[in-house]
Amino acid sequence: MPDHPLRILLVEDNLGDAKLLQEALEERGDFLHRLTHVTRLEQALEAVSRQELDVVLLDLMLPDSEGLETFRRLQHAAPETPVVVFSGLAIEDLAVQAVEAGAQDYLIKGRTSSEVLARSLRYAVKRKEVEKALLLSELNRSRSETILQTSITLDHEINNALQVVIGQTEILLDKIPESFEDWRRDLGTVRESSLRIAEVLRQLSEVTTPVTKTYLGTTQMLDLERSSHRNENESGPRDRDPSEA
């Protein structure tokens, strides 16, 4: 909850209803708030674009907008601001539809005590904060899963490439005469370096596998094979991997 007086935007064209609502809020001496009152949706849209607001109390039937469209336009303009619909009994079904579309709550004119009003506004703000926290958590989880999937795929691709390098150097070492000492020494260096890299990757895999299972359940691979095969087809046949012989 905010540590400042609750900043409320009241969107209500009936001045009598607006006055009754203001009086209900003032009855609650412990409910610190700052109320801004407008009578049209266009005024409300301007207010949410210019002011820092904690919650909007919205009448769906306004001179310049009626029904669920009123809520939808406000929600589009201020998606992170919680909205409590303030409706007459005759259009309670519309208020319920607004809640199903994303409003935090709805109140019925003439049937709302000061206690219920204050509680609804507080809960609306709190629920919106929880929604934001859950969304952020899900985004972080998705980002972590993407990173893990990428690391799994890279580990696979690098290991495959290393095995090709190691296999080819071993074939060349078998074919090059002992008299070509410099060539054999360089190839030996390539082979030993490749083996060291492969061992490092193996050790990293042992460390990250439990984390991968925690986040992903089972190991998943990004689909790099399709693009790899497409590149091979475009460039012609590849020499056979000696390790496949």
- What's the whole-model pTM score? 0.58
Token pair 């601001």 is at which residue?
81
- Is 152 found in the same domain as 95? no
Q: Which sign, positive or negative, has the C-alpha torsion 59, 64, 69, 72? A: negative
Strand partners, 35: 8
- Residue 11: which CATH number? 3.40.50.2300
Task: Look at residue 123 and tell me if it is in a domain.
Answer: no
- Is 108 found in the same domain as 14? yes
Task: Look at residue 126 and tell me if it is in a domain.
Answer: no
The number of domains in the chain is 2
Number of CB atoms found within 10 A of residue 188's CB: 12
Which contacts (CB < 8 Å, 24+ apart) does range 24-29 have? 24/112, 24/113, 24/114, 24/117, 25/114, 25/117, 25/118, 27/114, 28/114, 28/115, 28/118
The residue out of 112, 127, 162 marking a domain boundary is: 112
Query: DSSP assignment, residue 178?
Result: T
Task: Look at residue 91 and tell me if it is in a domain.
Answer: yes
Task: Look at residue 191 and tell me if it is in a domain.
Answer: yes
Return per-residue pLDDT of the chain as tens, 245 residues: 566 899 999 999 999 999 999 999 888 878 889 999 999 999 999 999 999 999 999 999 999 999 999 999 999 999 999 999 998 877 889 999 999 999 999 999 888 888 999 999 999 999 888 887 777 777 777 776 776 677 767 777 787 888 888 888 888 888 888 888 888 888 888 888 888 888 887 777 766 555 555 555 554 444 444 444 444 454 444 444 444 44
CA–CA distances in Å: residue 26 to residues 30, 99, 108: 9, 26, 19
Nearest alpha carbon to residue 112 among 91, 128, 89: 89
Task: Look at residue 135 and tell me if it is in a domain.
Answer: no
Q: Give the contacts of 158 (CB within 8 A, at least 6 positions apart).
A: 197, 201
Expressed as residue numbers, the domain containing 151 is 141-244
